Amino acid sequence: MKTYKDLPADGGSNIVEQVTQQANRLQQRLASVRHTVAIMSGKGGVGKSSVTANLASALGLRGHNVGVIDADINGPSIAKMMGVRGQRIDYGADGVKPALSPLGVKVMSMDLFLKDDETPVLWEAQTQKDAFTWRGTMEMSALREFLSDTEWGTLDYLLIDLPPGADRLPNLVDLLPNLGGTVVVTIPSEVSQLVVKKSLTMAKKLLNAPVIGIVENMAAYVCAGCGKTEDLFPSGHTEEMARQFDISLLGKIPFDPRISIAADEGNMFVDQYRDTPAGQIFFGITDEIRMFFERKM
């Protein structure tokens, strides 16, 4: 019986060449993308995906070519929010054609490949124990394929909606060495920010990209009857966190139930309610992101 040390080179698997080809394909694909932005939080339930969907749509309404990748492989929601669920996925000579939202944003999500609402993402393996062991690797492989095998065309912005947790960040460094920056989403509560701070620390240490700034979601509630604004949570923590990490507070989005309703219906809040306080904040945040990259040029 031969041991691993007895095998010449890579044992005939040609693995080195395969990895090199895949890396080159990824680099070539993203060469036509001007700015790649990761949207992260570290904490679930802060509305990160709805923020991503509305920021992408607001950039599109500003006249930019925009793409979105739903990097939450096991809990995808972007396709639903952006109104592209059920679109047929076509394969062209140059790769997979992304779904196209009503506002012209290109979308790629695992949800587009699932049969129905109840279908989970299951990884094939000898046993589910084996699948659990390799799940992180397989998730990153799926994200790599979303990036490299999709016909993105020429984009001004590609937004990547990261899943909760900071454990994917080290792998993201390998996938996106030219990542333009990250946007961190939080809510005002101290519990949320306790977790978000850990992700911020990891992002600043591991990612070869600056943190563009923080977005505070559900910052306050605007009374529909009187227009008075009241805090949903004790305020001031996000400003303190921004000062602590020396990064910008890009905007504070007030709670508006129509954001959730629009997402459930596959409509974009920023398109239907652009003149509301929350709508104006979304557009203000996109302007901050645009100015960030303009200052770098």
Instruction: Return the H-helix or E-strand segment holding 185.
Output: strand 181-186
pLDDT of the residue at 91: 85
Contact (Cβ atoms closer than 8 angstroms) between residue 67 and residue 155 = yes
Cα radius of gyration (the chain): 20
pLDDT of the residue at 39: 94
Q: CATH homologous superfamily for 32-296?
A: P-loop containing nucleotide triphosphate hydrolases (3.40.50.300)
Going by C-alpha positions, the residue among 243, 115, 101 that lies closest to residue 159 is 101
Average pLDDT, 10 consecutive residues per value, the chain (297 residues): 55 56 77 93 88 98 96 89 90 88 95 75 54 60 86 95 76 78 91 86 82 93 74 80 93 93 96 94 97 87
pLDDT of the residue at 134: 47
Instruction: Return the H-helix or E-strand segment holding 251.
Output: strand 249-252
- Distance (Å, whole) CA 175 – CA 52: 20
Interacting residues of 59 by C-beta distance below 8 A, sequence separation 6+:
66, 156, 157, 286, 289, 290
Phi, psi for 276 (deg, rounded to 5): -80, 165
Domain limits, the chain: 32-296
- Distance (Å, whole) CA 92 – CA 151: 8
Q: What is the pTM of this model?
A: 0.86
Q: Is 266 helix (H, G, I), strand (E, B) or coil?
A: coil
Interacting residues of 264 by C-beta distance below 8 A, sequence separation 6+:
80
